[in-house]
Amino acid sequence: MDSNDRVRIIELPKICDPRGNLSFIQNGTHIPFDIARVYWIYDVPGGKFRDGHAFRSQHEFIVALSGSFDVVLNNGTDSVRHHLCRSYYGLYVPPMTWRAIDNFSTNSVALVLSSTLYDEADYIRDFNHYKELAGNGR
C-alpha cells in the first residue's frame, strides 16, 4: 500500500466571507485521486443506515455537505467511527476498506467523490469475503 493510501481526514480550503463561506475541491490538488464520479446521499429517513461494503479499486472522499453522519471503517481487524459534521473537510477512504454509514442527522447530505465510474463488480458486499481478501496482502 502506498503511504498516500491511508484513511485520513483532509481539510479543504475555506474562504470565510460575511456573505457565506465557500469551500472547494479541485482535481489534482486536494484529494489523492482523480475524480471520475460524484454522488450524494440525501433524504435519509431517521434511523436508517447504509450497509457496509468495500471497493476493490475505488478511492472515495466523503464530505458532510449538510448535517452530520458517521462513517464506520473496518480494516478487517479494527473498527473506527468517524463523525463527519462540517463541509470544509472530508474523509479519504482508500480501496479495500470496509465502510458503512449511519447516524444520519435530519436533512443531512453526504457527498461522495469517487475515482471510478459506477461498477458493481468493484463492490465487495460480504464482510467475510472482504476479510479473506484483505488478509491476503491485498
Which spans of this chain sit near ligand TYD (rule: CB under 6 A)? Answer: 37, 39, 50-51, 53, 118
Q: Which is nearer to ligand TYD, 31 or 101 (CB)?
A: 101
CB of 47 to ligand TYD, least distance (A): 15
Determine contact, residues 105/41, Cβ cutoff 8 Å.
Answer: no
Q: Which is nearer to ligand TYD, 14 or 56 (CB)?
A: 56
CB of 62 to ligand TYD, least distance (A): 12
Please give, one letter per residue, the 3-state secondary structure of the chain: CCCCCCCEEEECCEECCCCCCEECCCCCCCCCCCCCEEEEECCCCCCCCEEEEEECCCCEEEEEEECCEEEEEECCCCEEEEEECCCCEEEEECCCCEEEEECCCCCCEEEEEECCCCCHHHEECCHHHHHHHHCCCC
Q: Which is nearer to ligand TYD, 5 or 122 (CB)?
A: 122
CB of 8 to ligand TYD, least distance (A): 22
53 is catalytic: yes
**Which residues does residue 27 pair with via DSSP β-bridges, in sequence order?**
none
From 30, 53, 82, 129, the catalytic residue: 53
Residue positions annotated with a catalytic role: 53
